[in-house]
Amino acid sequence: MKSVVIHKALDLRVEEQDFDAAPGPGQVDIAVGAGGICGSDLHYYQDGGFGLIRVKQPMVLGHEVAGTIASVGAGVLTLAPGDRVAINPSLPCGTCKYCQAGAQHHCLDMRFYGSAMRTPHVDGAFRQHLIADARQCVRVAEGVSLAEAAFAEPFAVTLHAVNRAGSLLGKRVLITGCGPIGALTVLAARVHGAREIVVTDIVDATLEKAMEVGADRAINVADDPTALDLYAADKGTFDVMFEASGAERALRAGMETLKPRGILVQLGLGGDVSLSQNFIVAREVDFRGSFRFNEEFDLAVDLINRRKVDVLPLLTATYSVDDAVAAFEAAGDRRGAMKIQLSF
Amino acid sequence: MKSVVIHKALDLRVEEQDFDAAPGPGQVDIAVGAGGICGSDLHYYQDGGFGLIRVKQPMVLGHEVAGTIASVGAGVLTLAPGDRVAINPSLPCGTCKYCQAGAQHHCLDMRFYGSAMRTPHVDGAFRQHLIADARQCVRVAEGVSLAEAAFAEPFAVTLHAVNRAGSLLGKRVLITGCGPIGALTVLAARVHGAREIVVTDIVDATLEKAMEVGADRAINVADDPTALDLYAADKGTFDVMFEASGAERALRAGMETLKPRGILVQLGLGGDVSLSQNFIVAREVDFRGSFRFNEEFDLAVDLINRRKVDVLPLLTATYSVDDAVAAFEAAGDRRGAMKIQLSF
Amino acid sequence: MKSVVIHKALDLRVEEQDFDAAPGPGQVDIAVGAGGICGSDLHYYQDGGFGLIRVKQPMVLGHEVAGTIASVGAGVLTLAPGDRVAINPSLPCGTCKYCQAGAQHHCLDMRFYGSAMRTPHVDGAFRQHLIADARQCVRVAEGVSLAEAAFAEPFAVTLHAVNRAGSLLGKRVLITGCGPIGALTVLAARVHGAREIVVTDIVDATLEKAMEVGADRAINVADDPTALDLYAADKGTFDVMFEASGAERALRAGMETLKPRGILVQLGLGGDVSLSQNFIVAREVDFRGSFRFNEEFDLAVDLINRRKVDVLPLLTATYSVDDAVAAFEAAGDRRGAMKIQLSF
Amino acid sequence: MKSVVIHKALDLRVEEQDFDAAPGPGQVDIAVGAGGICGSDLHYYQDGGFGLIRVKQPMVLGHEVAGTIASVGAGVLTLAPGDRVAINPSLPCGTCKYCQAGAQHHCLDMRFYGSAMRTPHVDGAFRQHLIADARQCVRVAEGVSLAEAAFAEPFAVTLHAVNRAGSLLGKRVLITGCGPIGALTVLAARVHGAREIVVTDIVDATLEKAMEVGADRAINVADDPTALDLYAADKGTFDVMFEASGAERALRAGMETLKPRGILVQLGLGGDVSLSQNFIVAREVDFRGSFRFNEEFDLAVDLINRRKVDVLPLLTATYSVDDAVAAFEAAGDRRGAMKIQLSF
């Protein structure tokens, strides 16, 4: 069985591993079919981690995957070999105070695929076979490809962000940053009724994709740095902003276009950013972090299954697992790539 | 009639002005009795303004005032000479989109006493007589002093902040910064049911006052810089934080003690602050600005009238209007002063 | 000028009136083009009113109208003759406590077209010419018919109901009653992201229309009275219910299919209904009335303009104003009619 | 060991049972000290149940209890013999979808003391010894009596109701019905900042108790049936209503005094009630059931421990367990009794 293993920054290897595990009770064996490369995968590859989280031991990457059930363990009644599923990479403990409060994504003992947050690290799902819990699997509808299903995880991240924002009924929305997360946020906001969606980025290709999936207007803030000023007049225009770039400049410029009491949902990871305390006070900005997802994973698969959204325009290219390093290089080129997937 | 007029930084004058105005229809003439010196008054005195707001012409200061009705204009039926009132310093237009949305404090054409936000500046209420709209006046109960009533305005600011935080039922609360606003926030949070209130500051005298008005624990973070670490363990302790210091260090240290999805209400004004985007995302912090007040002014007077709160422990000293400069100097000394008032 | 005037129950007359009024400052003269017959119009026609509201004097009916600007009064800069507009039938006072709180639809001095709530009654808009305030007019996009635009008002009612329910992200929705309001609620809920929409009625034709505009499943509860039982198992299935029938049986049966803490929005008017207090307590039902609309009128036109929704499948027939009585008879036949409009 | 066992309506027996059980891992043995008689206990005694819930086999009653730890099982580190505790009568499963969503009080497999909801029934805590899980126990502060601690359960019910209502900041509150639940709601609303509390009942003695624990005005609606009309004028006065009587008349009369969008929390159990659908729509009433409690139990003990509330004025009398029948007879007399407790 082949796995995609990060050893340290710029040291990513496709390794052959034995695989003869059988699914235990409540588990399934999945032949992984498609896996998307996420920004955090890229950080491990490019930098060996992000912030305080560093790769300290070899770790299989990958948490945006879909596959086909190969076999099922005892007591698994809802899945059968041949079923195609999207795989939720979250394994919360279920018993800590956050799990019992319905906030499993803040579990004090979370195991999340392909994450070096805890040591030993939790291996990811970029491998040809995977033993998972049946409860992690959400069935993919007929006619929907595994490539589409592998978008469920990042799409869930953006649905969670929309959930954090509350109802979008009648709301004018700004999305800063149109990488995969920003573009999927366009889909998530559109399908939940945003009245108007304006997107910004500094790369035309990504802006074009955002328009293709439903944005109303795209602004290249590198080419046209004052284009947002119009929206900042009269105490702002937007009711909701999704910050998906992680860039201080985008955050600050966008915030000034928010109406009083506007909601700013931060999705993009980044470093320290400098903000005006006085502006936040005077505008009564409501600045909310959004982290991963919870019940939105199931919803993401459902929306893809029912064709309420079309994620395929965001798939740039698919590489064989053998070409994983090339795939990561391609994923790192923001000008050329939206989402890069591996096939197994 | 004497007025307290700021000309430029460190140039504050008590000036004699003629006053022979009579209240028009719907207006009242008020003999001002007590006026509290606010942080923004101090900024005008010490720095000639704050941020982009600068004193460009002589302006009467003051917006925390209470007085006695001297005479009433035509059509004023609810007030009579001799009535004692707290005076709301806000004059929203009533017709702009924010006024019509119930957010008068974001009025596009707000006139606020003693503010240089617009030019010509809006004169304040540190003067012996004031013509105001009857709707600005809230009656003070028998037995309540004008000094207490003059706390209505800053207390309203903190009630608004509590309002921004939502219900405090069962909530553990951190308040950073125990100047007048922080200390009044203790009162506001306590009377609305906060389960536990921890306060921080770097001056013992202010912490003692905070304890006196209802805090459960006071921490001098200058003396004991790691005391908050305990509260940061296991993804945090506090459900709600009120930031009343305007200091980056207090904001960052406090934020780390917030539970996932905790609410951080920013009241204190300050400059640019550096925040960790990743922390805001991963902890799903909900960081909300709180600006002035709206219907909370009326509530502030009511709570003072009904003796649900006692603001008097926060009154440090009262100076005659003739000694206004000395009063401003005293107000500028954080170690010695909580709230300084003028009497007229 | 012809007007459609109700005199008393079953006494509806098309009357010729002189019209030589000119629009005053801020006003416009509109040549009314299309007008939909609403349930309340029908109540006036069939019963002379509803509840305590009775027709006591002749009154022009109609409040779902669109037309073409004939001329504009002084100071009207945003509209010009020839512009086609949907007309908001609400005229709130703007100054009462509810208007100042952003709840204009609860205005203490509301004037609403074609309503006998106050005496003298407020005439409606089923007439060939109408003087209205420019602020009541929302421009209709090119290519959108006046017939579609005349759906803005009832569609706004359903958008308001969706607004009352909060975010529909991931929510399973039940809609009881598929007359025009129930069917428009399907559109409103769908465009705001409801995960699943089940509708009930006792007339197949209306259920078919509901399916046509986006419901996932339709249940004829007359034919299949136990079909909802399945949804009531295990403490319920639906997160949100919109009650658009005004029938006690639909309300009670639907309520039992709501999950604990589910939200039940009541739109349909009806008489007294008997509810189980114990069930409301034990299930923690959240039962909310929804009345007319506020800023949702503007949104309704926008969604129709941008083709985010298609209301035309709900238009059953259009009658000339001369045939108003026949139109009202047709509108009263629930088996044959969804929405009946008049053309002027 | 003596237990208070209901056999059928009006057949309540104090029975001697052997007790030689030892606490298992994570469990404690509690010498029960005080137990309050709840309305549901009374229903079992007077009627053999309520609604569809009937006593089908002998069942120990009681769920409002406090006691002293006699011994602890393996692994119990936080409690020791001699500790005095309030006992949470809820035993949710922890794993069903409602438990995992933080709504344990809607657990699909709840075990609740002294409830005939499931068969075999779950025995209650009116007995001299009780084996409970350590997690059910909340420590009682020094100086607080077990009698006070036994109020934690019904007080938690009212805190949950206040939680359902959202923030009470600035809110005018009506409470209909001043039995133990209504009176405790006064305490709960007062400590969470209600601006004004008006209570109604038909018994003067209960109204006097409500005033004693913090109501601002008491209205005997039997003596003065039109006293609420004043509050119904101009579309209502109250922002929040707590219905604690279970009486249709109280519900309907109270609802008419609610402002548009007012929140009506139903706590009182009752039968079917007739409501005006049109009123609920036009007033946009928000009518919410409130069921038991969740994290509010812990808060109830905390507020009693910290002396933020004083429940003792509501304790009418304490009977020895041997006189349980007399105690139930006394508890059934609304004119004479507020809360009756047993001592063990």
Domain ranges of chain D: 2-151+311-343, 155-289
Q: Which of D166, D195, D302 sits opposite B167 (nearest CB)?
A: D166
CB pairs under 8 A between B and C: 16
Minimal Cα–Cα distance from D100 to chain A, Å? 5
Checking if the pLDDT of B336 tops 80, the result is no
**C-alpha neighbours within 13 Å on the C-beta side of residue C40:** 24
Cis check for the bond before B120: say yes or no (omega within 30 of 0).
yes
- Using a CB-CB cut-off of 8 Å, the residues of chain D touching C290 are 281, 284
- Using a CB-CB cut-off of 8 Å, the residues of chain D touching B171 are none
- At the topology level, CATH places domain B2-151+311-343 in Quinone Oxidoreductase; Chain A, domain 1 (3.90.180)
- B interface with C, Cβ–Cβ < 8 A, is 94-95, 99-104
* pLDDT class of B100 with cuts at 50, 70, 90: very high
Helices (H), D31-179: 39-47, 97-100, 146-149, 152-165
Q: Which of C94, C101, C102 sits opposite B95 (nearest CB)?
A: C94
Q: Work out the mean pLDDT of chain B and round it to a whole number.
A: 96
Q: Which of B100, B101, B104 sits opposite C94 (nearest CB)?
A: B100
- Using a CB-CB cut-off of 8 Å, the residues of chain A touching D100 are 94, 99-100, 102, 104
Closest residue in chain C to residue A167, using alpha carbons only: C167
CA distances, C4 to each of C17, C136, C318, C326 (Å): 10, 21, 15, 12
Phi-psi sector, D246: left (phi>0), alpha (psi -120 to 50), beta? left
Contact in structure between B226 and B256 (CB atoms under 8 Å): no
Are B159 and D166 in contact (CB < 8 Å)? no
Look at residue D52 in the predicted model and tell me its pLDDT: 83
Chains in contact with A via at least 3 Cβ–Cβ pairs below 8 Å: B, C, D
**C-alpha neighbours within 13 Å on the C-beta side of residue D266:** 31
Closest residue in chain A to residue B235, using alpha carbons only: A108
Look at residue B168 in the predicted model and tell me its pLDDT: 98
Are B170 and D296 in contact (CB < 8 Å)? yes
Q: Among B278, B183, B97, B276, which Cα is nearest to C104's?
A: B97
Are A170 and C299 in contact (CB < 8 Å)? yes
- To which H or E segment does residue C93 belong? none
Closest residue in chain D to residue B303, using alpha carbons only: D195
D165 Cβ contact partners less than 8 Å away, ≥ 6 residues apart: D171, D240, D242, D263, D265, D288
Look at residue D51 in the predicted model and tell me its pLDDT: 81
In the chain, the amino acid numbered C168 is: L
Closest residue in chain B to residue D307, using alpha carbons only: B195
Q: What's the N-to-C CA distance of chain D in angstroms?
A: 10
Paired residues of B220 in beta bridges? B201
Are C104 and B100 in contact (CB < 8 Å)? yes
C233 Cβ contact partners less than 8 Å away, ≥ 6 residues apart: none
- Using a CB-CB cut-off of 8 Å, the residues of chain D touching A95 are 94
Residues of chain A with pLDDT below 70 are: none
Minimal Cα–Cα distance from A114 to chain C, Å? 27
- Using a CB-CB cut-off of 8 Å, the residues of chain A touching D102 are 100-103
CB pairs under 8 A between A and C: 46
Closest residue in chain C to residue A162, using alpha carbons only: C169
CA distances, D195 to each of B144, B189, B299 (Å): 18, 14, 8
Contact in structure between A126 and A60 (CB atoms under 8 Å): yes
Cα(C109)–Cα(C105) distance, rounded to whole angstroms?
A: 10
* pLDDT per position as a tens digit, B234-266: 999 999 999 999 999 999 999 999 999 999 999
DSSP C122: B
Cα(A211)–Cα(D316) distance, rounded to whole angstroms?
A: 70
- C interface with B, Cβ–Cβ < 8 A, is 94-95, 99-104
Are C192 and A195 in contact (CB < 8 Å)? no
Cα(D91)–Cα(D306) distance, rounded to whole angstroms?
A: 26
Residues of chain C with pLDDT below 70 are: none
- Using a CB-CB cut-off of 8 Å, the residues of chain C touching A163 are 167, 169-170
CA distances, B80 to each of B75, B83, B297 (Å): 11, 6, 21
B335 Cβ contact partners less than 8 Å away, ≥ 6 residues apart: B203, B205
Q: Which of B54, B181, B278, B292 to mutate to test the interface with A (most CBs of A within 10 A)?
A: B278
Minimal Cα–Cα distance from C297 to chain A, Å? 10
Helices (H), chain C: 39-47, 97-100, 146-149, 152-165, 180-191, 204-212, 229-232, 248-255, 277-283, 296-305, 324-331
Give pTM, 2 decimals: 0.97
Q: Which of B166, B193, B295 sits opposite D193 (nearest CB)?
A: B193
D311 Cβ contact partners less than 8 Å away, ≥ 6 residues apart: D148, D151, D155, D184, D187, D304
- Using a CB-CB cut-off of 8 Å, the residues of chain D touching C272 are 274-277
Q: Work out the mean pLDDT of chain D and round it to a whole number.
A: 96
Look at residue C205 in the predicted model and tell me its pLDDT: 94
Look at residue C66 in the predicted model and tell me its pLDDT: 98
- Using a CB-CB cut-off of 8 Å, the residues of chain A touching B286 are 286-289
Phi then psi dihedrals of residue B268, to 5 deg: -70, 140
- D interface with A, Cβ–Cβ < 8 A, is 94-95, 99-104
Cα(C283)–Cα(C261) distance, rounded to whole angstroms?
A: 6
Are C278 and D106 in contact (CB < 8 Å)? no
CA distances, D60 to each of D32, D123, D269 (Å): 13, 5, 22
> For the residues of B78-110, what is the DSSP string, one character each?
S--TT-EEEE--EE--S-SHHHHTT-GGG-TT-
Are B100 and C103 in contact (CB < 8 Å)? no
Give CA angle at D339 (D333, D342), nearest 5°. Answer: 100
Phi then psi dihedrals of residue B311, to 5 deg: -90, -15
Look at residue A50 in the predicted model and tell me its pLDDT: 86
- Using a CB-CB cut-off of 8 Å, the residues of chain C touching A299 are 169-170, 195
Q: Which of B93, B98, B99, B100 to mutate to test the interface with C (most CBs of C within 10 A)?
A: B100
CB pairs under 8 A between B and D: 45
Q: What percent of chain D has pLDDT over 70?
A: 100
Cα(B40)–Cα(B46) distance, rounded to whole angstroms?
A: 10
Q: Which of D279, D280, D283, D292 to mutate to test the interface with C (most CBs of C within 10 A)?
A: D280
DSSP A308: S
DSSP A132: E
Minimal Cα–Cα distance from C306 to chain D, Å? 30
Are A167 and C163 in contact (CB < 8 Å)? yes
Checking if the pLDDT of D336 tops 80, the result is no
- To which H or E segment does residue D178 belong? none
Cα(D72)–Cα(B60) distance, rounded to whole angstroms?
A: 70
Chains in contact with C via at least 3 Cβ–Cβ pairs below 8 Å: A, B, D
Q: What's the N-to-C CA distance of chain A in angstroms?
A: 10
Largest CA distance in chain D: 65
CB pairs under 8 A between A and B: 122
Cα(A39)–Cα(A51) distance, rounded to whole angstroms?
A: 14
One of 3.40.50.1820, 3.20.20.70, 3.30.465.10, 3.40.50.720 is the CATH number of A155-289, namely 3.40.50.720
- Using a CB-CB cut-off of 8 Å, the residues of chain A touching B284 are 106, 164, 288-291
Q: Which of B167, B295, B299 sits opposite D163 (nearest CB)?
A: B167
Secondary-structure percent of chain C, ordered helix, strand, coil, rounded to 5 = 30, 30, 40
Are A289 and B289 in contact (CB < 8 Å)? no
Q: Which of A94, A95, A100 sits opposite D102 (nearest CB)?
A: A100
Minimal Cα–Cα distance from C201 to chain D, Å? 18
Place of tokens 């949702």: C296
- Using a CB-CB cut-off of 8 Å, the residues of chain D touching A104 are 100
